[in-house]
Structure formats: structure tokens, C-alpha cells
A and B are shown apart, each in its own frame.
Chain A
Amino acid sequence: MTVLAALEGMDRLSSGDVLVAQNVAFAIMAITMVASALRMVTTRNVVHAALYLVIVLAGVAGIFILLGAEFLGVTQIMVYIGAIVVLFLFGIMLTKGSFGDDDGVTGERRLMAGLVGLLVFGVMAAALVESFADAELSRSGPSTTADIADSIFGYYIVPFEAVSVLLLAALIGAIVVARKD
């Protein structure tokens, strides 16, 4: 009986308080990410845009961890923030002077782009609210790295090899395109 009561207490804990904490964490990360993303596409300074991109990518990593995909969250930090953003900063610095600050955009161009963005969001939001109105996430615990490894090297081995070949081709292609001759 006591064990059962304790289990019930634990269940209430994990379904109530922890979930509130998760929702608060989600809200903080979501607001930060959306604000940073907006600043990224509107700021004039390209280096600042890269740094705002770092905030968004870190927020995505946090969302992954919130969803129980811890391996993916760590991979996101290592690959995106560790490698891709550095690559962007190199790209910005190697092309600096050509575009000191991107005044960007004439009014009409910005207006049309904003309209297209709003339209895309409107259509997607309507479809999502219609389709998944109150769908709750199942709480089955985090997925382990071993599960992902089994899946990649078992069922998804062919796409994995294809991605390897793609990465090799992209590597060689980038060197060939960018080298001075």
C-alpha cells in the first residue's frame, strides 16, 4: 500500500510540477529564440547576425534536450555552434569590405518578404492547430545514445552510408571550388 501511495506521489510529481518546469523552460527558450531570430534577419551588422544565430542554435539544442533527445542536443552544440558558426565567421571575415553593413533592403523588397513569411506562417499555423489541437507528448523518458546507434547502424545503414559519401563529395567539392589556381 505504501509503495503504491509513494508511486502515486511520484506520478503526481512527474506529471505536475516537473511539467510546469518544462513549460517554463520552453517559454523562456522559445521567446529568446524568436527574438534572436528576428534580430538576426534584421540587423545591419553581419557579425552580430552570426552571434544571434548562435543564440538560436543553442535554443534549438535546449529544445532537443527538453524533448529527451540528449545525443542530438549535444551534437547540435558541437556541429553547429562549434563548427558551422565558425565557418560562417570565416566567411564573413574573408568577404569583409565588400558589404560592411548590409543596409539590405529596399522598403518594397522587405514588405514583400514579410508578406510571404507571414503567409507561410499563417497557413502552417492554421494547419497545425487544425490537425494537432490538443495532442499531448507521450512521456516515455529520454532516448539513449545506444538506441540511436542501433538504429543508425541497423535499419538506417544505407542512408547513413549515403550521407557519408555526400559529406566526402561536399568536402572535395568545396576545396575544388574555393582553391586559388
Chain B
Amino acid sequence: MLLNQFLLLSAVLFSIGVYGVLARRNGVLVLMSIELILNAVNINLVAFAAFTGTIGGEVFALFVIAVAAAEVGVGLAMVLLLYRSSRTIDLTTVDRLRG
């Protein structure tokens, strides 16, 4: 197997995630797209771990999974708070801090 096939797959998933973050307005869907980006990064880490024959990449992929879990917890709590205070999770309407 070539190293590049994994890296290119990861690049495709990353780009789709970037599209999702930019194009969607639903807060939950934006969080899901961020998960997609983090998973693309994990594929990269594990592919390079297999390429170099070291274990560090896999360990850091585990750390990324843990940080992603923390991020989803806090992010969904914020989306719920947003829903409770303004009855919508449309991110384009959240501009109260605009000057």
C-alpha cells in the first residue's frame, strides 16, 4: 500500500469537513463537520505511524480522540444554551457581539 492513498483520503475528508463548517448553519452540523476534520487528522497520524514504524502517531491519535470527546461535550452544551436563550441554533443569527 502506498502512503499517499491514505494521505489523499484524509485530505478529501478534511476538505469536506471544511466545506461543512463553512456552508452549514445548523450548530450541531457544524460540530459534526469538525469531527470529520479531526478524524481526517487521525488518519494522517496513524498512516505516518505505520510509515515510520513508530508508535507515537497512534498515541497522539488517542489523545486527539480524547480531546474530540471533550470538545463535543462542551460544544453541545453551548449549542443547548444557545437554543435555550434564543430558541434557535442557526449560527447566522448569533451576532449579538457584532459591533
Contacts and interface: CB of A to CB of B under 8 A. Distances in A.
A124 interface: yes
Interface residues on B, range: 35 or more
Given A129-B4, A170-B73, A178-B77, A113 B23 contact: yes
Contact of A170 (B5, B33, B74): B74
A95 B80 contact: yes
A173 B11 contact: no
A98 B80 contact: no
Interface in A112-161: 112-114, 116-118, 120-121, 124-125, 128-129, 132-138, 140, 143, 147-148, 151-152, 156, 159-160
Of A38, A68, A121, A180, most buried by chain B (CB within 10 Å of CB) is A121
Contact of A33 (B13, B32, B49, B58): B13
Given A41-B23, A132-B7, A163 B56 contact: no
Interface in B1-49: 1-9, 11-20, 22-29, 31-33, 35-36, 39, 42-43, 46-47, 49
Contact of B58 (A37, A40, A94, A143): A143
B53 interface: yes
A19 B62 contact: no
B31 A88 contact: yes
Q: From DSSP, what is the main secondary structure of chain A's interface residues? A: helix
Nearest to B40: A60
B46 A178 contact: no
Interface in A66-115: 66-69, 71-72, 75-76, 79-80, 83-84, 87-88, 90-92, 94-95, 98-99, 102, 104-105, 109-110, 112-114
Given A46-B26, A135-B4, A170-B74, 18 more contacts: A23-B1, A33-B13, A38-B16, A40-B33, A41-B20, A50-B32, A63-B9, A80-B39, A80-B65, A80-B68, A88-B32, A88-B76, A98-B83, A118-B15, A138-B51, A140-B53, A167-B66, A169-B70
Interface of A: 19, 22-23, 26, 30, 33-34, 37-38, 40-41, 46, 49-50, 53, 56-57, 60, 63-64, 66-69, 71-72, 75-76, 79-80, 83-84, 87-88, 90-92, 94-95, 98-99, 102, 104-105, 109-110, 112-114, 116-118, 120-121, 124-125, 128-129, 132-138, 140, 143, 147-148, 151-152, 156, 159-160, 163, 166-167, 169-171, 173-175, 177-178, 180
